[in-house]
């Protein structure tokens, strides 16, 4: 394998601090070695955190990101660091969820993407946020995201 295809990666294989904000975070990509076929890639982040923009209190979500790659794959460590950059970022659930999706779409231009943001309750109301770029490709198996709606403790 030609190692020069990975020369543009700056975060993989080294120590990295999380960016101070999502705008400062860098999303990296690698060439899709199977660009001629359609398949699904899933990333799950069950411990996503951000801050309420009004109170500054932490918000918690279980994120599920599904995408069908085109020419590029999303490099997983850069995704982790990007998601970590939200820890000190104040934004509503809807903004966080859709901003993550739009940033990934902008960076890697997948054939299709969907995100499920399953947010834990604040003020007694859980908010689930869903976004997708369009209709799912016909010949790709796209399983349910598998996250139950919030049922409380009983």
Phi, psi of 143 (to 5 degrees): -70, 160
Rounded Cα–Cα distance for residues 23 and 103 (Å) = 9
Rounded Cα–Cα distance for residues 114 and 104 (Å) = 10
Of the candidates 59, 95, 128, 139, the residue annotated as catalytic is 59
- Catalytic (active site) residue 95: no
Rounded Cα–Cα distance for residues 47 and 93 (Å) = 14
- Catalytic (active site) residue 59: yes
Rounded Cα–Cα distance for residues 11 and 25 (Å) = 11
Of the candidates 52, 66, 95, 139, the residue annotated as catalytic is 52
Are the CB atoms for 95 and 130 separated by under 8 Å?
A: no
Provide the β-strand partners of residue 62: 118
Are the CB atoms for 50 and 96 separated by under 8 Å?
A: yes
The number of beta carbons lying within 10 Å of the beta carbon of residue 123 is: 8
The set of catalytic residues is 52, 59
């Amino acid at each position: 394998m030609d190692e020069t295809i990975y020369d543009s990666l700056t975060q993989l294989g080294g120590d990295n601090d999380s960016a101070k904000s999502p705008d400062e975070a860098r999303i990296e990509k690698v060439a899709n070695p199977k660009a001629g076929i359609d398949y699904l890639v899933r990333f799950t982040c069950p411990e996503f955190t951000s801050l309420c923009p009004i109170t500054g209190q932490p918000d918690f979500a279980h994120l599920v990101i599904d995408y069908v790659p085109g020419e590029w794959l999303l490099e997983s460590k850069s995704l982790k660091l990007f998601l970590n950059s939200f820890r000190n970022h104040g934004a509503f659930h809807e903004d966080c969820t859709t901003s993550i999706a739009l940033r990934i779409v902008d960076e890697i231009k997948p054939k299709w993407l969907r995100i499920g943001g399953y947010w834990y309750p604040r003020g007694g109301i859980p908010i689930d946020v869903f976004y997708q770029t369009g209709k799912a490709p016909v010949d790709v198996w796209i399983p349910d995201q598998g996250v139950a709606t919030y049922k409380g403790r009983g």
